[in-house]
Amino acid sequence: MRFTPEEMMTVAAARGLRDGQVVFVGIDLPSRAANLARRLHAPDLVLIYESGTIDTRPDELPLSIGDGVLAETALSVVSVPEIFNYWLQPGRIDVGFLSGAQLDRFANLNTTVIGEYAEPDVRLPGSGGAPEIAASCREVFVVMRHRRRSFVDRVDFVTSFGYGTGPADRALLGLRGAGPVRVITDLGVLEPHPVSAELVLTAVHPGVTVEQVRAETGWTLEVSDELGRTIPPTERELDVLRSLRTVGSP
């Protein structure tokens, strides 16, 4: 069965989730991946959205983070201060999903501004829940399209802290989550090096070469000795993924 690079990325992200985990889900790609996992191998995945919906089971994907379908199918809806203070901050979340306009070699993310803060080239939406997701979830998965302008040596603005400038920074800041343990792109998978914390290529998706990945990466990307190759999406994975409909989509 044919599939697009974006479908491969979504399937790879979904596979990383284990049944019974508690996942803090952002909109778009993360929501798609988490809802895919819930329909496949992880029926008891607990989805939490920052709008305050806990253990929600939407039939259709929400367009926004606070769609009615999230509240209607949730076990519980709490206030926005509560979702951050009582649920995200204390480290109750197993996996947080993030994306960004820029990612750097230490997995720091930028969703704030391209260029200077005071005189932006492009003004982006800003941080939302991302800084605390990056700080507090036990693990963070980053999901984003792999392009040279996005995979940069240093992000213009650190919206979400990955590993800062090296392996010791998170501990120095007192951040309690492990940080981004996996970056899943439409080309492959990057993981932080256990010693340096710099992102290295650990897997390429079917049909993708290391050279392609390097060409789309803005730093000298190291490749793992045990480079893997992602198993292509199964028919069932693709069927379910393609059946996911977004609320109100044409």
Partner 1 sequence: MAKIVSLREAVGELVHDGDTVALEGFTHLIPFAAGHEIIRQQRRELTLVRMTPDLIYDQLIGAGCARKLIFSWGGNPGVGALYRIRDAITRGWPAPLAIEEHSHAELANRYVAGAAGLPFAVLRGSAGTDLPMHTPAVSIVRCPFTGEELTAVAALTPDVTVVHAQRADREGNVQLWGISGVQKEAVLAARRALVTVEELVDELEPVAGEVVLPRFVVTAVAEVPGGAAPSYAHGYYARDNTAYRDWQRISRDRETFAAWLDELQKAEAVGEPGE
Residues in contact with partner 1 by CB under 8 A are 20, 22, 27-28, 44, 46, 50-55, 62-68, 70-72, 75-77, 79-81, 84-86, 88-92, 112, 117, 120, 123, 125-132, 135-136, 157-161, 164, 169-170, 173-176, 246-249
Cβ–Cβ under 8 Å, residues 72 and 49: no
Rounded to the nearest whole angstrom, what is the least distance from the CB of residue 114 to partner 1 in the complex? 11
**What pairs with residue 199 in β-bridges?**
192
Give the C-alpha separation, 25 to 168, whole Å. 27
211 among known catalytic residues: no
End-to-end CA distance of the chain: 25
Nearer to partner 1, 34 or 88 (CB): 88
Rounded to the nearest whole angstrom, what is the least distance from the CB of residue 8 to partner 1 in the complex? 22
Say which amino acid occupies 44: D
Give the C-alpha separation, 26 to 33, whole Å. 10
Rounded to the nearest whole angstrom, what is the least distance from the CB of residue 117 to partner 1 in the complex? 6
How many C-beta atoms lie closer than 10 Å to residue 206's C-beta?
12
**Size of the chain in residues:** 250
**What pairs with residue 160 in β-bridges?**
109
Q: Could you give the count of Cα atoms lying within 13 Å of 227 in the half-sphere of its Cβ?
A: 15
Rounded to the nearest whole angstrom, what is the least distance from the CB of residue 79 to partner 1 in the complex? 6
DSSP state of 206: T
Give the C-alpha separation, 208 to 228, whole Å. 12
Cβ–Cβ under 8 Å, residues 180 and 98: yes
Rounded to the nearest whole angstrom, what is the least distance from the CB of residue 238 to partner 1 in the complex? 23
Q: Which of 6, 7, 50, 132 is catalytic?
A: 50
Q: Just list the catalytic residues.
A: 50
